[in-house]
Amino acid sequence: MKRRVIAFLLAMTMTVSMAACGSSSTSEETAETQTTTSTETETAEETAATEETAEESAESSEGGTFIVPINSSSITSLTPYNIYGSDDGQMAANPCYDSLFIVSSTGTRWYLAESLEATSDDGCHYRMKLTDGALWHDGEPITADDVVYTVNVLLDPSNTGSQSQYVVYDGDPIASVEKVDDLTVDITLAKPYSAFESEFGRIKLLPEHVFGGQICIKDMTEELNMAIGSGPFKLKEYNEGESIVYERFDDYYRGAASLDQVVIKMMPDLSAQEAALQAGEISMMRVTSQTKLDKYKADDNYTVYSIPEGHLNYLTFNYQCDIWKNEDARKAVCLALNVDEIIMGAYGSEELAVAATNFCSPENLYYNDEMEGYQQDLEEAKRLAEESGLTDMTLNYIYFSARPNMKETAQIVQQQLKQIGVEVNIQAYDTSEFFAHLFAAWRGGKTTEDTSWDLATNGMDSLNADPATKMSSWKGDLIQNGFYMSEETSALWEKAAQSIDLTEREELYKQLQVQMNEDYSLYPMANTNYVMVARKEFKGLDAIEKYPVFEDYTQITME
């Protein structure tokens, strides 16, 4: 029996109102409404003056250039075939390329696709309809051929070194995507996977005709740099290492955007970002400290937004070190820490982050909001630390130096563990060094012995609504060489991810969140917020509260 599977799924789990989607009302429409209301009390002359003022206001709110800084100094490709897991890559592509659809805990937002329906009860067969009238930026229609082509590109490991997680589900690639007609495709999975909709919907289609149907595209530099996209803005110019300039695409299928241009500015220096914001050279930036947050909140020239990032910062144990094979040692650390002190000390307030209770974020479907998380118990933690041998050694703690709030977090953890007699050395690493250590157990498809570190803090996103998308982070033979997972937890992962009964699936995922905590396999620290400050003249920046921000640029206007 056919059913609109995503709408039904979200109806079962929705706990907050739908986020705004689609094109926002223009300032001109607002002005006209205000004018109509005013006629009840104004004279004819006053009405004419009001209408003239409204027209001038509408004109001033149309157009403008919105300039977004990203922390990268370069973009691998203007065509987003390789942006999975890259926040900067997503932000750079969003003005130019639309997703099929976006699933979130607040609803499904449809873009290049208008529906996805299950065509059988086995959880493996679906039919997707594309939105009629959508065009590529060169005027060619977007069709089912582009869907089939894009999936084949994402499945070809020669493009990025592995098959994309958009089309691989719990280790199994999508079985088939077949064209039914110009606007319809049938999709078959190898086995049921609860997060299929979340993963597949985020695909940004690639134009088959631009690449001549070639599946291996990584070396097709000319075609990649054409950036023929599907979004509300099209490529105007690319200044390598500096900026990507997009201009409005007037034939956009959801209606032309208000802004004239969107510029993605490559600015890895955060101090340079702040100077540029104050000089009017960029339109917004992220802030990660309470001091800067308070500074801009007090300045009438700016608006401050706090958007749930769907991100978990956590402390993890290196399971290659024998000490962590003792549950008492992991438990001692978890009971020694005070998450509220970490939030206040490292972040400054709940505007920047809230205390995490489990491996999910509140933006996930099936989030278990009844959990309290670990509670500090210094007496019990000290006993377990002594009995497990933690107090007889010095632990090495590593963190990613470029990630905000991690240094402060490490220092607080160091002091809290000292209270139970555990000494900790702290080491900061840059990107390549940090992840080479953190993922040594499974990096490059093999395990490298690395016992140089014992503890680490890292972050994990929740770009997708369904927790099953985290399976690739926690499961697998190689991963479990460096990360602990009990047999009970592993079994729950499999059962929940493959459940096609929505009530059962929700219950299993809530059990899984409890079970992960009972493993003492990681310490959930912070669910972070994306706090940004923007110049006052820009509106609609929080129309969709999702990270990476600015999913829909038609919502943004400049007054």
Q: Model pTM?
A: 0.84
CA distance 388 to 326: 7
Structure tokens at 58: 């509408």
C-alpha dihedral, 52 to 55 to 56 to 59, nearest 10°: -170
Helix locations, 125-244, DSSP H = 144-155, 196-201, 221-226
CA distance 253 to 143: 13
Residues 6+ apart with CB under 8 A from 75: 88, 89, 92, 244, 266
Closest CA to 530 of 263, 280, 265, 285: 285
| DSSP symbols for 203-235 | -B---TTTTTT-S--TT-HHHHHH----SSEEE
Quick check: 323 and 381 in contact, CB under 8 A? no
CATH number of 308-530: 3.10.105.10
Q: Is domain 5-19+98-228 annotated with CATH 3.90.76.10?
A: yes
CA distance 120 to 122: 6
CA distance 416 to 422: 9
Quick check: 429 and 279 in contact, CB under 8 A? no
Residue 463 pLDDT: 60
Q: Which residues pair with 172 in a beta bridge?
A: 169
What residue spans in the chain does CATH classification 3.10.105.10 cover?
308-530
Closest CA to 496 of 480, 514, 510, 482: 510
CA distance 151 to 420: 53
What residue spans in the chain does CATH classification 3.90.76.10 cover?
5-19+98-228
CA distance 200 to 119: 16
CA distance 303 to 311: 23
Structure tokens at 311: 């991100």
Structure tokens at 388: 């497990």
Closest CA to 24 of 259, 262, 257: 257
Residue 12 pLDDT: 40
Instruction: Please report, in tens digits, the pLDDT of each residue of the chain (559 residues total).
Output: 333 444 434 444 333 333 333 333 333 333 333 333 333 333 334 334 434 433 443 343 479 999 999 998 888 889 999 888 788 899 999 999 999 999 988 889 999 999 999 999 999 999 999 999 999 999 999 999 999 999 999 999 999 988 998 999 988 999 999 999 999 999 999 999 999 999 999 999 999 999 999 999 999 999 999 999 999 999 999 999 999 999 999 999 999 999 999 999 999 998 999 999 999 999 999 999 999 999 999 999 999 999 998 899 999 999 999 999 999 999 999 999 999 999 999 999 999 999 999 999 999 999 999 999 999 999 999 999 999 999 999 999 999 998 899 999 999 999 999 999 999 999 999 988 999 999 999 988 899 999 999 999 999 876 668 888 888 778 888 898 999 999 999 999 999 999 989 899 999 999 999 999 999 999 999 999 999 999 999 999 999 998 889 999 999 999 9
- 3-state DSSP assignment of residue 528: strand
Quick check: 547 and 371 in contact, CB under 8 A? no
